[in-house]
Amino acid sequence: MAALMQKSALTRPAVASNAGRRAVVVRAAADRKLWAPGVVAPDHLKGELAGDYGWDPLGLGADPVALRWYRQSELVHARWAMLGVAGVLVQEVVKPDVYFYEAGLPQNLPEPFTNINMGGLLAWEFILMHWVEVRRWQDYKNFGSVNEDPIFKGNKVPNPEMGYPGGIFDPLGFSKGNLKELQTKEIKNGRLAMIAYMGFVLQAQATGKGPLAALSAHLSNPFGNNILKNIGTCTVPHSVNVQGLEIPLTCLWPGQQ
């Protein structure tokens, strides 16, 4: 009997300790911001990544290796989308008479680029982007392996975290402050930009107008110019001829070309 009491006394602190740990976990989960009130985040989303609100209904990030790559992919697409959205809006403000879908055609480019060979430009873009993406893949496979400039040896970036090289890419030194907060702001704005850019594209295909022109048309006649009225409409031609090269086009919006 005495032995049983002694064993009970020895195991009681362990039970209390486990209960205490569970309480800490529960409090941490309660303090974490999730995508909806009362939802439970998947086990593989622990809130460590910037912008992690526990949203992964298909479980795509359950594999840690895949999750790491998805984060890098999302980050790159988010940055391109922010540049694209800003470019579309600025172009429409500066040259409202040029439709952003046609802004890249040679005749709409500023001097001295009106006579540029689009095939040669495409080839150079493919080569350079391929080189950059291979370098990014190498950094993903072996983090820090491409920190040094391949041409000017001795020049390196600090690269404290994958996807955030720092150094000359952070001239104002923002990363020296609350980096996690800035990362969260960036990915949130990037996600919004990705949705916005897809909206720009679908809207342009349905109306043949840029985002500001379409917004102006909607505000002038909300009931006549809206998404319901544009369903089934597609202004994109079947193809476009650029310097003798016939490029087929398609419409993402469900409608007839």
Is 55 labelled as part of a ligand binding site? yes
Is 185 annotated as contributing to ligand binding?
A: yes
pTM of the prediction?
0.81
Low-confidence ranges of the chain (pLDDT < 50): 1-2, 4-11, 13-28
Residues 200, 89 contacting (CB under 8 angstroms): no
102-132: per-residue pLDDT in tens?
Answer: 888 888 888 888 888 888 888 999 999 999 9
pLDDT at 218: 93
User: Is 79 known to sit in a ligand binding site?
Assistant: yes
Identify the pLDDT of residue 28.
46
* E-strand stretches of the chain: 232-233, 239-242, 245-248, 255-256
Q: Is 27 annotated as a binding residue?
A: no
Host H or E run for residue 121? helix 118-141
Report whether 44 belongs to an annotated binding site: no
pLDDT digits (tens, 9 = 90+) for 75-91: 999 999 999 999 999 99
Q: Is 111 annotated as a binding residue?
A: no
Q: Is 125 annotated as a binding residue?
A: no
Residues 213/96, Cβ–Cβ less than 8 Å:
yes
Q: What is the pLDDT, as a whole number, of residue 89?
A: 96
- 155 annotated binding-site participant: no
